[in-house]
Amino acid sequence: MKTVTAAILVIGDEVLSGRTQDANTQVLAKALGAVGVQMCESRAIADDEDTIIAALNEMRGRFDYVFTSGGIGPTHDDITAEAVGKAFGVPVTIRDDARALLEAHYGDQINEGRLRMARIPDGASLIPNPVSIAPGFRIGNVFVMAGVPKIFAVMLDAAVPALDNGARIEEVSFACPHGEGVLSAPLSAVAEKHPAVSIGSYPRMKVGGGFEVTIVARSADAAALAAAEADLRAMLAAL
């Protein structure tokens, strides 16, 4: 089965300033992994039109899918829709179907600001949003999603079934009482022997001092993963 790749572009000054913590990258990575799409890159950028256009055009040429997070709300700094339109070279207008959703939801509370959330690039399809109604959209291989984690998650539920599935990544993990200084040479030898398997070591502090490590091996090739697992177990037993 083919490898299918994806990336996320997190858009927002509030993320880069530290005022808001990005939670959407982890949610996306888990959802994509479940359908065999490999998350290859996560990038956070400012609310700057030129920066968004350049990053989006570069990423959509490298990956099968790109997901954006943030910047499609009702305020002046929500500029993602316009930037995406310019990246694709198409106009962005208040679309009738998106307008109808918002008018039905807000009734006589609809206003100019809320109608900004109906701005959709020509040729895009809507991504439903049952939480706050304002839709995301897909254009080409780009999925434009809200930054609010709860809304991002429900949009993702609608987007994932449209993806081409790839080879699913499986993983095994091992708890190791030794630090990475002890593991370095033998772990490097196992990793070199199994190039089809991604092998990583992840340290954390132990209560009372010192480190312990979790070793994780991941691959879409079940046989290669099994062989690497056997060598990792043998390596740990020999330490």
Provide φ and ψ at 207, rounded to 5°: -60, 125
Confidence check: pLDDT of 167 > 90: no
Q: How many residues does the chain have?
A: 239
Locate the DSSP E strands across the chain. 4-11, 37-45, 65-69, 92-94, 119-121, 125-127, 136-139, 142-145, 170-176, 198-205, 211-219
Mean pLDDT of the chain: 94
Q: Is the pTM of this model over 0.85?
A: yes
Provide φ and ψ at 182, rounded to 5°: -75, -40
CA dihedral 17, 19, 23, 26 (to 10 degrees): 30
Confidence check: pLDDT of 83 > 80: yes
Confidence check: pLDDT of 80 > 80: yes
Class of domain 4-162 (CATH, top level) = alpha beta
Which amino acid is present at 99? Answer: R
Q: How does residue 166 score in pLDDT terms, banded at 50, 70 and 90?
A: confident
Confidence check: pLDDT of 209 > 80: no
**Same topology for domains 4-162 and 170-238, yes or no?**
no
- The Cα 39–Cα 56 span in angstroms is 16
**Residue boundaries of the structural domains of the chain:** 4-162, 170-238
| CATH code given to domain 170-238 | 3.30.1370
Confidence check: pLDDT of 44 > 90: yes
The answer to whether residues 108 and 57 touch, using CB atoms and an 8 Å cutoff, is no
